[in-house]
Chains A and B, each alone.
Chain A
């Protein structure tokens, strides 16, 4: 819905997810983010994926605009609203946008639409990759350059700022404090193809609240991603390398590949995702972690997609919380069922 008045155009819109997750064990709880302090077990849990986002866009002429987004989702302290984004943008020239405020840190291929279930075929982005970096937004500035060359649309974003988020691990709240974060993100879009190459470095990342105090580290992420979507077939993959310099405790390589086929309103899909520790990983119990998932998206009503997914996941801190001692020591597989509805309005 929008309203125009004297060159001021505002619009509001929203998105959300309502659903539940249940698993075949009471020995661990499945979660969709390292922010969550509890999750689903044999008792269905509606808080894992359910969320509501409200967004307001304000345009002042053709040059200035502002975007604000409030997101209600489960974090360390339960279902809470947070100011996800609030930024002002100046489109200085057709090829240059300057932004300031709170905005998304482009760490992964679909970082900027991760919460918008309706925009994706799956029930959620794979934890093996997307749980690596719990910070979703940052406070700072961003320059975005757009150019077309040989029929391909290029977008380059350079971002800098700071961010803080509370996650949950080792039975307590841990604060991830990133005083400086710098990101470069390059997107190339051509027809049915999207390519992404991006890197993030956080030179002074601190974890507060760990049982053992760790010195600040330089946390680096390098990722490549590709999407092919011709309207009928979808193939998407991403590979992310995380390195923390000397003997990084959390070094890892992570990747996933997902594919789907549309038949009218129905789209069955499958996803394989994997986390391979490359350092002295503190937060996982076993050496290699993978999830195999299969599901279906059904575009049931205008603006509403219903999805069901079943997955077999290795128990790890990326996808699970409150792991019982019986499961923590061994490689355990858990079957996870998800049924939800994604909507936009």
Chain B
């Protein structure tokens, strides 16, 4: 644990808080991984192939994930989802309280998809894509 904190501090000093480690997209161990194109469609509300789960938008990983997965920044993602939600066409991705909660939800639902820091990965879920 101490080693991880030291590594984290080192990463913060070297690269600053905005550019964290790799983001991994996770699915249920029984699920088939989506492609990069499908991932963008799922997280911008164009595809219902998976049920997307979200991190809090106040976390750096949120901004990093959407930038890498969809090429959109926070405001653009918010605009895209407000177009869907206030049209009554769907609900925005459910926000998970932590990486552990994200993994638990994905492990429990073959249709769920989520994303976490690579450092939080374990065997309960399957890596669908690595975004770096």
Contacts and interface: CB of A to CB of B under 8 A. Distances in A.
Nearest to A153: B46
A344 B70 CA distance: 21
B82 A119 contact: yes
Interface string A144-160: 00101001010000000
Contact of B83 (A85, A119, A151, A305): A119
B48 A146 contact: yes
A112 B89 contact: yes
For B70, B74, B88, the residue with the greatest tally of chain A CB atoms inside 10 Å of its CB is B88
A247 B70 CA distance: 49
A120 B76 CA distance: 10
A231 B82 contact: no
Contacts of B79: 118-120, 305
Contacts of B118: none
Contacts of B47: 148, 153
Interface in B54-90: 57, 70-72, 74-76, 78-80, 82-83, 85-89
Given A148-B47, A302-B74, A191 B86 contact: no
A231 B72 contact: yes
B66 to A, nearest CB: 10
Nearest to B87: A112
A202 B35 CA distance: 43
Interface residues of A, number: 38
A265 interface: yes
A20 interface: no
Given A153-B41, A303-B78, A13 B94 contact: no
B87 A113 contact: yes
Given A53-B86, A69-B88, A112-B89, A148 B49 contact: yes
Given A15-B86, A103-B88, A265 B75 contact: yes
A25 interface: no
A119 B46 contact: no
Contact of A113 (B48, B49, B76, B82): B82
A195 interface: no
A231 B85 contact: no
Nearest to A121: B79
A59 B89 CA distance: 13
A148 B38 CA distance: 11
A112 B41 contact: no
Contacts of B94: 2
B100 to A, nearest CB: 18
Contact of A189 (B46, B75, B76, B85): B46
For A85, A116, A120, the residue with the greatest tally of chain B CB atoms inside 10 Å of its CB is A116
A146 B46 CA distance: 10
B75 A305 contact: yes
B48 A230 contact: no
Given A94-B48, A302-B57, A116 B74 contact: no
B91 interface: yes
Nearest to B86: A116
B37 interface: yes
A115 interface: yes
Contacts of B46: 153, 189
Nearest to B74: A302
Given A153-B41, A191-B37, A299 B75 contact: yes
Contacts of A115: 86
A67 B88 contact: yes
Contact of A11 (B40, B49, B82, B91): B91
Nearest to A94: B48
Closest 6 pairs between A and B when the two form their complex, measured CB to CB: A112-B87, A299-B75, A119-B83, A231-B71, A67-B88, A113-B83
Interface of B: 37, 40-41, 46-49, 57, 70-72, 74-76, 78-80, 82-83, 85-89, 91, 94
19 contacts: A55-B88, A57-B85, A57-B91, A59-B91, A69-B88, A94-B48, A103-B88, A112-B87, A113-B83, A115-B86, A119-B86, A153-B41, A153-B47, A189-B46, A191-B40, A231-B70, A231-B72, A302-B75, A344-B78
